[in-house]
Amino acid sequence: MAEPTDTPLRSQEEIAARVKALEALLIEKGVMTTEAVDRMAEVYENEVGPQLGAQVVARAWTDPEFRARLLENATAACAEMGIGGLQGEDMIVVENTDTVHNAIVCTLCSCYPWPVLGLPPNWYKAPAYRARIVREPRKVLAEDFGFPIPDDVEIRIWDSSAELRYWVLPQRPPGTEDLGAFELAALVTRDSMIGVGPVKAVGA
């Protein structure tokens, strides 16, 4: 899925340039090594990221008791699967249903549940998304993400903070009754756990 159209390319380039400049400065000052930077990137790409959140979602889809625990205390439920840590100390999961669709944002900065979603996308940190998703969520989801929500479905926006980080339990797609946990996890996308996109279609 394409990133929102109102996130200027220039701003994305500026963010990338700042990250590279900061990385170079940290290495130059001896605060971090190139190897440490590479290792951190590897951790968040392969060991901490949306694939872990997808595993949690798949288990919640197949295990009603785990789903109940996840909705009651997401941090503890994720810890059962060995998932947690920095930026995920206090997480809350909100569930999509036939009548309610949830999406998350951090209106102040870019608070985000890293252990289950990985690195936040640039658009999540952009002022345009942070302001507009609160004011006109239906329009943003339809126009910026190509993800229209029916008019008869309520949209709820959850504002993450340094104290609480929200993420979404998407609905299990129909036609997946015979799929195992591994196959189900492959259907879950990062955007579906933020609430700005769908899960993958079966067979896609």
Give the pLDDT of residue 16: 63
Superfamily of chain region 9-194? Nitrile hydratase alpha /Thiocyanate hydrolase gamma (3.90.330.10)
pTM reported for the whole predicted model: 0.79
Q: How far is CA 54 from CA 59, 101, 119, 163, 178, in A?
A: 9, 18, 14, 23, 18
pLDDT band at 3 (very low <50, low <70, confident <90, very high): very low
Q: Which of 68, 73, 98 is nearest to 174 (CA)?
A: 98
Task: Give the pair of three-digit tokens for residue 16.
Answer: 């990338």
pLDDT score of 31: 73
pLDDT in tens, 134-165: 999 999 999 999 999 999 999 999 999 988 99
At which residue do the structure tokens 């930026």 appear? Answer: 87
Q: Break the chain into its structural domains and give their ranges.
A: 9-194
Distance from first CA to last CA of the chain, Å, rounded?
14
Catalytic (active-site) positions: 106, 109-111
For residues 176 and 184, give the distance between their C-alpha atoms in angstroms, rounded to a whole number. Answer: 8
Confidence at residue 19, expressed as pLDDT on a 0 to 100 scale:
66
Strand-pair partners of 93: 167
